Amino acid sequence: MEKRLEVRNLSKSFGRKGYETPVLKNIQMDVYERDFIAIMGPSGAGKTTLLNLLSTLDTPSGGEIFLDGQEITKMKNKELSILRRDKIGFIFQDYNLLDNMTLQDNIALPLSLNGKKSSQIINLVQQMAESFGLEKHLQKYPYQLSGGQKQRAASARALITKPKILFADEPTGALDSKSSRDLLECLKIVNQDGKATILMVTHDAFSASYAKQVYFLKDGSIQCWLNSKGDRKAFYEEIITMLVTIGGDGE
C-alpha cells in the first residue's frame, strides 16, 4: 500500500515563550492508502489539535508531517491552499452546508470552484449521492433535511474531489444513533470500495469500532493502538476495555 501520511517527532505547545504548555509530544504515525484510523482519548489529550496539524489547519511547534512525500510543515499559504484543494477532504461536526443552495449544489461546490464541466459535475454528484443514500434529496435545501442527511451530504461533498485523505472531526457528535450508524456505514463503504483514506477523531467507542485501527492519546502522547480483526462487535469491546485501562472514556 502507498504511504499517505508520515508523521515524525510532532509536537505542539501553546502560550508565550518560556510559559508554553505542551499539548502534543513526539507523535509518530504512518498512514497508508485505504487506512481508516480513529483517534481517541480523554478531554485535553490533544485529539483535535493533532487532527488540525495533520490536516494543515494549524502549524506544529516541532517535527515533520509528510503528505504523499511532501513536507507540509514548510509549505507557504498558497502551496497549502493548493494542497487542501487537491488532496484533502474535511468533515466537521456542524456540517458547514450553505442554506441558500440545494443539496446538489452543496455537494457540487468543490467541483464548481475547480472549474469542472457541468456534465462531469452532474454525473459525479449523482454517484456520490447514491453512495450516501441521498439521491432522492438532491433538490432539497439543508433546512429540509435531518441532521444525519446533512452530515452524509457534507461527507459526499468532502469526497467528491477524490481527496487523498479525509479528516473527520467528531462527525457523529451531533447525530442520533441511527444517523450515526448510517454515516459510519457509508464511510466504511467508501473506505473499502472507494479507496478513501480516513482519519477520524471521536470520543465514541461505537464510532471508533468502524475503523480499522484506533490510536489512543493521553497527556499529549500516543499511549497505544488497537487493530481490528474484522469483527466490529469484538473490536468495540476491545476499545471499551482499552479506554478504561488508560483512564479515559474519551468524552
Domains and CATH numbers, the chain: 3-98+164-246 (3.40.50.300)
Per DSSP (E only), the strands in 17-150 are 21-32, 36-40, 62-67, 70-71, 88-91
Average confidence (pLDDT) over 8-30: 92
Cell of 198: 480516513
Quick check: helix, strand or coil at residue 158?
helix
Question: What does the alpha-carbon distance between residue 221 and residue 189 come to, in Å, rounded to a whole number?
Answer: 30
- Supply the DSSP string of 107-138, one letter for each residue: HHHHHHHTT--HHHHHHHHHHHHHHTT-TTST
Quick check: helix, strand or coil at residue 55?
coil
Model confidence pTM above 0.95 = no
Q: For 135-173, what is each residue's pLDDT tens digit?
A: 999 999 999 999 999 999 999 999 999 899 999 999 998
Report whether pLDDT(112) > 90.
Answer: no
Res. 250 pLDDT band, cuts 50 70 90: very low
Report whether pLDDT(122) > 50.
Answer: yes
Q: Give the orientation angle of helix 147-159 with respect to helix 118-131, to 10 degrees.
A: 130
Q: For 212-241, what is each residue's pLDDT tens digit?
A: 999 999 999 999 999 999 999 999 999 999
- Write down the pLDDT at residue 251: 42
Average confidence (pLDDT) over 98-107: 95
Question: What does the alpha-carbon distance between residue 197 and residue 165 come to, in Å, rounded to a whole number?
Answer: 5
Question: What does the alpha-carbon distance between residue 180 and residue 200 come to, in Å, rounded to a whole number?
Answer: 13
**What is the torsional sign of CA 132, 135, 137, 142?**
positive
Average confidence (pLDDT) over 124-130: 93
- Write down the pLDDT at residue 248: 55
